[in-house]
């Protein structure tokens, strides 16, 4: 994500992914699908992250979702080369699978909606997930984290 995402291109991608059942957030009958407020959140050696607002109309009501796109470089390998033979070693696939697994046991992680492995769309593989609100706390609840884990 060297340059900021193009909202029209992202809208087109999300519509297409929704029609084919790859993206479960936009219903097939939705209209007025729009992407706005694209903001770069962070960038690093292995990935770049931006947030955006997805809106669409469903049955006469506007739906709004704050989402995050996390883009990965294909050139960066795993930090750890340890994996099982039946595991996918691509870091974006592994992160998506871990997030979905943690969701299934009610661990508090952002909801992961999509993992796109094909770089043809934007030039890199990426994840799309729910944007979580930041809660300011003076003390990190380590005991709660450890007990949940």
- Distances 102 to 17, 39, 51, 62, 117 between C-alpha atoms, Å: 24, 27, 22, 30, 21
CA 19, CA 22: separation in Å to the nearest integer? 8
In the predicted structure, residue 149 carries a pLDDT above the cut 70: no
pTM above 0.85? no
The mean per-residue pLDDT over the stretch 62-90 comes to 71
Stated as kind and residue range, the H or E segment containing 35 is strand 31-43
In the predicted structure, residue 89 carries a pLDDT above the cut 90: no
For residue 34, name the pLDDT band (cuts at 50, 70, 90): very high
**Tokens found for residue 86:** 């039946």
In the predicted structure, residue 129 carries a pLDDT above the cut 80: yes
């Amino acid at each position: 994500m060297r340059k900021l995402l193009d909202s029209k291109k992202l809208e087109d991608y999300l519509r297409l992914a929704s029609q084919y059942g790859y993206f479960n957030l936009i219903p097939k009958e939705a209209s007025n699908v729009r992407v706005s407020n694209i903001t770069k959140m962070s960038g690093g050696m292995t990935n770049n992250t931006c947030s955006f607002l997805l809106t669409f109309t469903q049955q006469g009501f506007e739906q709004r979702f704050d989402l995050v796109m996390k883009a990965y470089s294909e050139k960066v390998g795993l930090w750890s080369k340890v994996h099982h033979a039946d595991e996918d070693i691509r870091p974006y696939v592994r992160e998506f699978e871990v997030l979905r697994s943690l969701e299934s046991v009610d661990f508090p992680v952002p909801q992961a909606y999509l993992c796109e492995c094909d770089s043809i769309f934007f030039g890199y593989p990426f994840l799309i997930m729910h944007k979580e609100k930041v809660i300011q706390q003076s003390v990190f609840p380590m005991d709660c984290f450890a007990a949940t884990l």
